[in-house]
Amino acid sequence: MIYKTVIGLEVHVELKTKSKMFCGCSADYFGKKPNAHTCPVCLGLPGALPVPNKTAIDWCIMIGLALNCKIANFSKFDRKNYFYPDLPKGYQISQYDQPFCQKGVIALSNGKKIGITRVHMEEDTAKLTHQGDDSLIDFNRSGVPLVEIVTEPDFETAKEVVEYLKKLQQIVRYLGVSNADMEEGNMRLEPNISLRELKTQNSKLKSELPNYKVEVKNINSFRFVEKAIEYEIKRQTEILNVGKTPVQETRGWNEDKQKTVSQRIKEEANDYRYFPEPDIPPIRLSEFQISNFKSQMPELPDLKLVRFTKNYGLPRYDAEILTREKELSNYFEEAVRAGKTFEVNAKQITNVIINKKIDIENIMPAELIKCIVISKKINILDNKKLSEIINKVINENPKAVNDYKTGKVQAIGFLLGKAKQHFPKGDANQIKIALEMKLK
């Protein structure tokens, strides 16, 4: 039998607003004392009324625009009803049939387009911690703004999924709306995987979707999501090959066992008994308001990549490195502006930033340009004598080296002073850069 893999994605992104989605409690919960950031609203106490966070809604719309979605003029919140210990109200405030953003698209590097079904706003649940037979609940996370981004079932391989996820993470970081740090739970990944039989090897009818799907919940790593998808493809293939149909269910990835494990039978939408949230009026956006959102959008990675190759004449590979993070791309452009006075061009700056792995947090763009100018005159960046001196200073001052590596950045001044004793005619900025690169 020949099968085609059909994968859709649901990604939850926590927004880094100051307060929660429907109350004034701090949304900065990670690492904080359990149950310290709570109130009657996020604890679901009777009589407490939700008040929507405008910033969170604005940021949700920005994500939708970045994914080329159509922004709804009329949208509403809904109650998603289910019972679980991490949901104190017995329902989650989410969006069902009228979300803020729908029908978007994002392109992969091979030109394949992935459809975005919807981008909607909801609140996060509390966090459960299991200890033997007991479970503890921390409500600090309850009510934190959460954006859910749902794709069409357009993925065919785990590699495509990982590329999309990395691109999505880059976009939300460029927008400045989320850290998208998976280790802290800011970005959680849920692939839906199924297989359909191809009648012929060349059959590509998108409408022939399988009559089941298996969702793998709350994965927090690109590597794990790739493993989970590949495992599910293998597991489902084995089931289909013996004439059975895989159960439509929710599973979880067990890294220790390197396999997915069944958690529960997958719910359908009607199981949640969605109905409009009676305590929050519908939200209307005029075309003028939507136009304002569009005008406030920052330059996104794909457009910046094209501009860097076109305006600065950079190879695509170099431009990809420089635009990978917004902070690095901004640093590069500041350095280019500073370099014009000294006739230092973009390609020279790019070579130093990429090849010398410049610490952009500690070396200002103007300092970098000065060092490039000096190096062009006396070739100090590759000076063998300087390298020998720096190695000697590092070997003779292990305490200062350890202080610097543990966060005491002022220790670099001590090491710089020692190096200057051996090399009094050397430029201090140049020596400092060489020291920092050696200590990385």
pLDDT in tens, 17-63: 999 999 999 999 998 999 999 999 999 999 999 999 999 999 999 99
| Average pLDDT taken over every residue of the chain | 92
425 pLDDT above the threshold of 70: no
Structure tokens that stand for 257 in this block = 């066992």
413 pLDDT above the threshold of 80: yes
The pTM (predicted TM-score) of the whole model is 0.83
The terminus-to-terminus CA distance of the chain in angstroms comes to 53
Q: How confident is the model at residue 373 (pLDDT cuts 50, 70, 90)?
A: confident
379-440 folds as Arc Repressor Mutant, subunit A (1.10.10)
User: What's the whole-number mean pLDDT along residues 272-290?
Assistant: 97
DSSP assignments along 304-349, one per residue: HHHHHHHHS---HHHHHHHHSSHHHHHHHHHHHHHHGGGT--HHHH
pLDDT reported for residue 362: 84
202 pLDDT above the threshold of 70: no
299-356 folds as DNA polymerase; domain 1 (1.10.150)
Helix (H) or strand (E) holding 392: helix 384-396
User: What's the whole-number mean pLDDT along residues 183-188?
Assistant: 94
User: Are the C-beta atoms of 227 and 47 separated by less than 8 Å?
Assistant: no
List alpha helices for 156-252, DSSP H. Answer: 158-175, 222-241
User: Are the C-beta atoms of 231 and 259 separated by less than 8 Å?
Assistant: yes
User: Are the C-beta atoms of 212 and 265 separated by less than 8 Å?
Assistant: no
pLDDT reported for residue 166: 97
pLDDT reported for residue 297: 97
- Check residues 131 and 283 and name the one with the higher pLDDT: 283
Q: How confident is the model at residue 431 (pLDDT cuts 50, 70, 90)?
A: confident
Question: How far is C-alpha 221 from the chain's CA centre?
Answer: 11
CA–CA distance, 50 with 36 (Å, rounded to integer): 19
CB-based burial label for 319 (10 Å; 0-12, 13-18, 19+): buried
pLDDT reported for residue 136: 95
204 pLDDT above the threshold of 60: no
Would you kindly state where each structural domain of the chain is located, as residue ranges? Answer: 3-295, 299-356, 379-440
Ramachandran region, residue 198 (left: φ > 0; alpha: ψ -120 to 50; beta: rest): beta
pLDDT reported for residue 381: 45
207 pLDDT above the threshold of 80: no
200 pLDDT above the threshold of 70: no
pLDDT reported for residue 377: 57
How many beta carbons lie within 10 A of that of residue 98, not counting itself?
A: 17
pLDDT reported for residue 380: 44
Query: Residue 9: beta bridge partners?
Result: 191
pLDDT reported for residue 292: 97
DSSP conformation class of 19:
B
pLDDT reported for residue 378: 47
User: What's the whole-number mean pLDDT along residues 141-157?
Assistant: 98
User: Are the C-beta atoms of 59 and 147 separated by less than 8 Å?
Assistant: yes
Give per-residue pLDDT as tens, 240-269. Answer: 999 999 999 999 999 999 999 999 887 777
1 pLDDT above the threshold of 90: no
Q: Which of 226, 179, 107 is nearest to 325 (CA)?
A: 179
